[in-house]
Amino acid sequence: MVDIGAASPPLAAARGGSDARAMEGKTRMDVAQADETALADYEAFCRDGVHGPCQHPVWVRAWVAETGADAVIVTVRRDGVPVLKLALEVVAKGPFRIARFAGGNHANGNFAAVANGVATPLSHADRAGIAAALRKARPDIDLVLLSRQNPHFEGVENALSGLATMQSPNVSLAVNLAGGFEAVLARHNAPRKRKKFKYQFNRFKQAGGHALIEARTPDEVERLISTFFELKGKSLLSKGIADAFAPAEIRAFFRALFRDALAEREPPFLLHGVEVGGRIVAINGLSVTKESVVCEFGTYCSADPKSSPGYFIDHTNIQQACERGKKIYDFSVGDEDYKRSWCDIETWQFETLLPLSVKGHALSLYERARAAAVHAVKSNHALWAFAKRLRARLADGLVQQVLEHRALALVAVRRHVRQVVRDHIQRGLLGIQPGTGGPQRADHDEVLCSALPLRQRLPPGGGVCRNFTGSV
């Protein structure tokens, strides 16, 4: 363990809490390897604190155990009292080593664990203290990159929002459940939604009837998660999208996550499924907090082109969240039409970058440029619609390759993103015959494209890549 002390200015009072203890005094940063002792301390801290679903101790423990992650726990203390903890994993990215939230790209809606009732906005002095502690404990780390963070969570301001941050390219869409399910329907075209749900219900009845499954036993977890991996893998393969759930250690993690969650009095992670005629046709992986239900991932399959089990399970899960007194149903990151048909809350997430080395500073500049380019695309409705159409027609990696290739140049010369896309995608890809499938309800990926690798990268001057996974 490394213990670094640093002076800190007084903390501001927590939002909405007259009883919040705005603490001042000496700040200390501890960095400990995530062994059993550190994980037990993290679990005890979270028990009485506030944290995002992907910072839950069940998530962190399962990730460390099943993936063998090189993980550390960073603790911020005020006058000896822990007020914030970060559960991070250290991963290699080419020649760089990055510290990120445990879970990597599977961790969405991140919110670092903070002490309940304690105001904890970190200052630039805290930033320097954390950097110094990490450099001393782990001199191999080049960059701390904390992605896809929510600015607020259940009435609490994100403690990391006061550090040097950038806007994430990811938007999170959610449903306000105020007033109950009938009020939700009334705000979102109730007649159409009732008609569509009834139609699906009748189609399922004709197919032998349906059953709703909430996995509450290890056997039910295994049945649903195995079916999810199978259906998701086939769906993504048909669209030319890399399957982020394919690695054995990732599958082991999710199996452990939903199985271990059952030991909690109120399971923080649940699998829901729809069974029709003895066959699982839709699955959602949910995280459950005090006020929210978050759809972390989902997939569906239907041999009937007129049936929409994906819509059916979303409709059902939203209704159940209302019945259980939740305030928010969160579809997580990703901007898709099926989400917007329900959603009235739009949240742009942010990212924290903390370079720890010269290489880390260079990587930080690249990440900022890349995020700016992708965000510009995603925040422009017409341009994002064009990008999704392109993604549906092509092997997904092309758009990502172009964006990454042009990100720094875009920022450096302040060229308009629309021009970049038009010049280096639209024009350059004329004549390419598409691959298969479209991205509807594909996943909750935070990037513009999650692609199968190209056989040949775009050349430095731009141009057309002719050798990719697909046909030309």
* C-beta separation of 392 from 438 below 8 A: yes
- State whether 17 and 164 are in the same domain: yes
- State whether 283 and 231 are in the same domain: yes
pLDDT at position 444: 37
Q: Which residues contact 72 (CB under 8 A, 6 or more apart)?
A: 31, 32, 33, 34, 88, 89, 90, 99, 137, 138
Per-residue pLDDT of the chain (472 residues; tens, 9 = 90+): 443 333 333 333 333 332 333 334 588 999 999 999 999 999 999 998 999 999 999 999 999 999 999 999 999 998 889 999 999 999 999 999 999 999 999 999 999 999 987 666 788 888 889 999 999 999 999 999 999 999 999 989 999 987 867 888 878 999 999 999 999 999 999 999 999 999 999 999 998 899 999 999 999 999 999 999 999 998 888 777 889 999 999 999 999 999 999 999 999 999 999 999 889 999 999 999 999 999 999 999 866 667 799 999 999 999 999 999 999 999 999 888 899 999 999 998 999 999 999 999 999 998 888 888 887 777 777 777 777 677 666 644 544 554 555 444 444 444 444 444 444 443 333 333 223 333 334 433 333 333 333 333 333 333 322 222 222 2
Q: Is residue 343 part of a domain?
A: no
Q: How far apart are CA 193 and CA 212, in angstroms?
A: 19
pLDDT at position 151: 93
pLDDT at position 453: 35
User: In what helix (H) or strand (E) does residue 472 lie, and over which residues does it extend?
Assistant: none
- State whether 143 and 206 are in the same domain: no
Total tally of structural domains belonging to the chain: 3
pLDDT per position as a tens digit, 281-293? 999 999 999 999 9
Q: Is residue 362 part of a domain?
A: no
Q: Is residue 442 part of a domain?
A: yes
Q: Is residue 422 part of a domain?
A: yes
Q: Is residue 403 part of a domain?
A: yes
- State whether 268 and 208 are in the same domain: yes
pLDDT at position 368: 87
- State whether 85 and 21 are in the same domain: yes
Q: How far apart are CA 123 and CA 369, in angstroms?
A: 24
pLDDT at position 26: 81
- State whether 186 and 165 are in the same domain: no
Q: What is the pTM of this model?
A: 0.78
Cα distances (Å, whole numbers) of residue 158 to 15, 162, 255, 384: 10, 8, 30, 28
- State whether 103 and 163 are in the same domain: yes
* C-beta separation of 173 from 340 below 8 A: yes
pLDDT per position as a tens digit, 100-144? 999 999 999 999 999 987 666 788 888 889 999 999 999 999 999
- State whether 392 and 453 are in the same domain: yes
Task: Find the distance separating the first CA and the last CA of the chain, reported in whole Å.
Answer: 55
Q: Between 57-67 and 36-47, two packed helices, what is the crossing angle to 10 degrees?
A: 160
CATH code at 277?
3.40.630.30
Q: Is residue 335 part of a domain?
A: no
Q: Which residues contact 275 (CB under 8 A, 6 or more apart)?
A: 210, 211, 212, 213, 281
- State whether 209 and 232 are in the same domain: yes
Q: Is residue 336 part of a domain?
A: no
- State whether 213 and 194 are in the same domain: yes
pLDDT at position 303: 65
pLDDT at position 459: 33
User: In what helix (H) or strand (E) does residue 38 lie, and over which residues does it extend?
Assistant: helix 36-47
Sign, CA torsion 52/77/357/65: negative
Q: Which domain does 188 fall in, by range?
A: 178-326
Q: How far apart are CA 162 and CA 126, in angstroms?
A: 10
Q: Is residue 366 part of a domain?
A: no
Q: How many other C-beta atoms lie within 10 A of the C-beta of residue 368?
A: 18
Q: What DSSP character marks residue 433? A: P
- State whether 205 and 301 are in the same domain: yes
* C-beta separation of 87 from 52 below 8 A: no
Instruction: Tell me which of 308, 339, 355 is where a domain ends.
Output: 355
> 285 has which bridge partners?
271, 297
Length of the chain in terms of residues written: 472
Q: How many other C-beta atoms lie within 10 A of the C-beta of residue 464?
A: 16
CATH code at 147?
3.40.630
In three-state secondary structure terms, 458 is coil
Q: How far apart are CA 17 and CA 33, in angstroms?
A: 33
- State whether 160 and 190 are in the same domain: no
